[in-house]
Structure 1
Amino acid sequence: MTKRFAFIDMGTNTFHLLITELDEKGQLRDLVKTKLPVRLGQGGISNGAIAPEAYERALKTLKDFRRQIDEYGVETVRAMATSMVRNASNGEDFVKDVFKETDIQVEVIGGEREAELIYYGVRAAGVLDEKTAMIMDIGGGSVEFILCNKQEIFWKRSFEIGAQRLMDQFFKQDPIAPESIEAEKLYLQQKLQPLTEAVARYKPTVLVGSSGTFDTLCDIDALSKGDTSRQQSIPPASVLPIEDFYKIYQDLLRKNHEERLAIPGMLEMRVDMIVLASIAVDFVLQQYNLQEIRVSSYALKEGVLYQML
């Protein structure tokens, strides 16, 4: 008996839909994997409410997701909302409206739970081993850090310092000004004090980037070497050499919006936020002296899937 599941991850920047099928042998097959730049946080994240245009975009996207879910005859639907919805003054109304218009019941999950589910997703991608790793998942609203290895989580925390928030605060001119880069790093140093203490205790050596920004960095890296394999399918686990990251990073800091958009592998929905996100990656690499970067294309929704199974 085959079973079909649908997972919706309603992020601050991107909405994801995954429809997957479990066959008699217990094999999983993805039927639909979509990500759309809904930008739920746009125009509202810094004053704590979902803006009317973003509200409409989200409802429209979820109606479309519902149509696809019905087309595939899915039995089980799980929809998760994260940072933007959990912090928005109109978050509850939004959840009610979603249910009213699409019959999708949204679970608003807390930061700790979000971090835990990301860990299960990343673990399923096969990027973790015996080494102590720092998973970093950069969302639009929050960034999750998990110190772990493939057996267990040692420490986890969600910080409300996502790329949309950083953008509203530090992206004053384009290309970004050196003083804005310094200001962002200083801000991260203050905000990430609990992480700094945990790092001193658990001593991670590997940075594991989870989906989003990190997938795009890997796409750019591969295409710069003439490798087009990621255009066909993105592997669950990848490696991003540190020197390659820094080559891309320096390039992102030098270029303006149009020039970044022209970089092969760049996604339009990440073209500005990737600047702020990459500064955060650089900060973490330097501050915590991490020796390598691995990337998991699995994150929250895969974590929910693997926990359910």
Structure 2
Amino acid sequence: MNPNKAAIIDMGTNTFHLLLVNLYEDRFETIFKEKIPVKIGQGGITHNTIHPEAQKRAFHTIRHFRNMIDGEGIINVFAFATSAVRNATNGPAFVEEIKDKFDIKVNVIDGDEEALMIYEGIRFSGSLNGQTSLMMDIGGGSVEFIIGTAQEAFWRKSFEIGGQRMLDLFHYHDPILTEETENLTFYLEEKLADLRYAIEQFKPTALVGASGTFDTLTDIYFQSLHQEKNKKQQVFELPVASFEIIAEKLLTLNKAERLKIPGMIPMRVDMIVVASCLIKYILQLVPVTALTCSNYALKEGAIARLIGKHSFAAAES
């Protein structure tokens, strides 16, 4: 057993992530990582419940994760659940069952804590320079926005408008109809009033996207240039002009056609359409020429805390 090994489980609404790491004083080394499209929000998120089929997929995945963790002899396990679980009426029973079945204690974090951990992950990636940035993480259940610098987060908020929710509410036709994207924009206008006010107040001049959708968008961008992404790099630039071209494709192609886009992965093919609509909306509020895309998000924020990079200034803001 190695005491400086740790396992991080991020139980997102769309994707469950497992990250096994060696921890050092100022860095970490990945032993193994895996993401599985559990889609725990599917079939129940709009009714604030975890559907029995989704529970089955979740338990199957957690059993697999437990085996991987035990195979590495890891005893330090940090598991987090976010939007779908925290809003589900059967969430507490679900978490209790994971403890009983797999001896894994799941920490169900609120939106504010989720936003803070995402900020810490983004900062750990080196995505933040001297500018004030608007950071965003598009999850399946919620979307987190943070405004801040590498030194501190000035403002942060979680909105329950994630990809699975937007998909259930607006994306009925494939390709998505203009009317559906217009309805989605009205919805964002209504839901994101606090964000617009914060942008006016703090005037961010850079836009940083964390993980998930942004990873896939940069994969598509690099494939379009016939280039490979550097596996050791944590931060990528996506020119807004290139994003606009990709988004236009995503909004006009059907699912089968979207799957053929080089760089697309099946687990993102549905949600990336509404996520792109959200990014287009945000770009009107923070007009930048390039999106900074961070590979790091919540689970790396957890690692940053474990190796003592946790910012107390941010926690107190």
* TM-score of the alignment, normalized to the shorter chain, above 0.5: yes
Superposed CA offset, 1:53-93 (max 9, x none): 00000011001000000000112100000000000010000
Q: Which runs of 5+ in 1 are unaligned?
A: none
CA drift at 1:2: 6.2
CA drift at 1:292: 2.7
* Structure 1 counterpart of 2:53: 53
Q: Output the amino acid matched with 1:168.
A: D
CA drift at 1:286: 1.1
CA drift at 1:159: 0.1
For 1:235 and 1:60, locate their aligned partners in 2 and report how far apart those are by CA, in whole Å. 32
Q: Output the amino acid matched with 2:160.
A: E
* Structure 2 counterpart of 1:179: 179
Contact 2:38 2:54 in 1 (8 A): yes
CA drift at 1:300: 0.3
For 1:217 and 1:166, locate their aligned partners in 2 and report how far apart those are by CA, in whole Å. 18
For 1:234 and 1:190, locate their aligned partners in 2 and report how far apart those are by CA, in whole Å. 40
Given the alignment of the two structures, is residue 136 of structure 1 paired with residue 136 of structure 2, yes or no? yes
Report which stretch shifted further, 102-111 or 281-290: 281-290
For 2:128 and 2:201, locate their aligned partners in 1 and report how far apart those are by CA, in whole Å. 19
Superposed CA offset, 1:174-214 (max 9, x none): 00000111110110011000000000000011110000000
Superposed CA offset, 1:7-36 (max 9, x none): 00000000000000125x755210011111
For 2:233 and 2:171, locate their aligned partners in 1 and report how far apart those are by CA, in whole Å. 32
For 2:50 and 2:285, locate their aligned partners in 1 and report how far apart those are by CA, in whole Å. 34
CA drift at 1:173: 0.3
**What does residue range 134-283 of structure 1 map to in structure 2 within 5 Å?**
134-230=134-230, 233=231, 235-283=233-281
* Structure 1 counterpart of 2:83: 83
For 1:200 and 1:295, locate their aligned partners in 2 and report how far apart those are by CA, in whole Å. 23
Contact 1:119 1:146 in 2 (8 A): yes
Given the alignment of the two structures, is residue 9 of structure 1 paired with residue 13 of structure 2, yes or no? no
Superposed CA offset, 1:267-299 (max 9, x none): 101101000000000000013334431000100
* Structure 1 counterpart of 2:118: 118
* Structure 2 counterpart of 1:69: 69
Identity %: 47
For 2:96 and 2:61, locate their aligned partners in 1 and report how far apart those are by CA, in whole Å. 16
Contact 1:2 1:21 in 2 (8 A): no
Contact 1:133 1:207 in 2 (8 A): yes
TM-score, structure 2 as length reference: 0.94
With over 3 angstroms needed to count, the CA separation of the structure-2 counterparts of 1:93 and 1:40, relative to structure 1, is: same
- Note the aligned Cα RMSD (angstroms): 1.2
Contact 1:175 1:253 in 2 (8 A): yes
For 1:113 and 1:219, locate their aligned partners in 2 and report how far apart those are by CA, in whole Å. 29
With over 3 angstroms needed to count, the CA separation of the structure-2 counterparts of 1:225 and 1:106, relative to structure 1, is: same
TM-score, structure 1 as length reference: 0.97
For 1:163 and 1:196, locate their aligned partners in 2 and report how far apart those are by CA, in whole Å. 20
With over 3 angstroms needed to count, the CA separation of the structure-2 counterparts of 1:127 and 1:27, relative to structure 1, is: closer
For 1:219 and 1:291, locate their aligned partners in 2 and report how far apart those are by CA, in whole Å. 19
CA drift at 1:308: 1.6
Q: Which runs of 5+ in 2 are unaligned?
A: 308-317
Q: 2:293 aligns with which of 292, 295, 305?
A: 295
CA drift at 1:147: 0.3
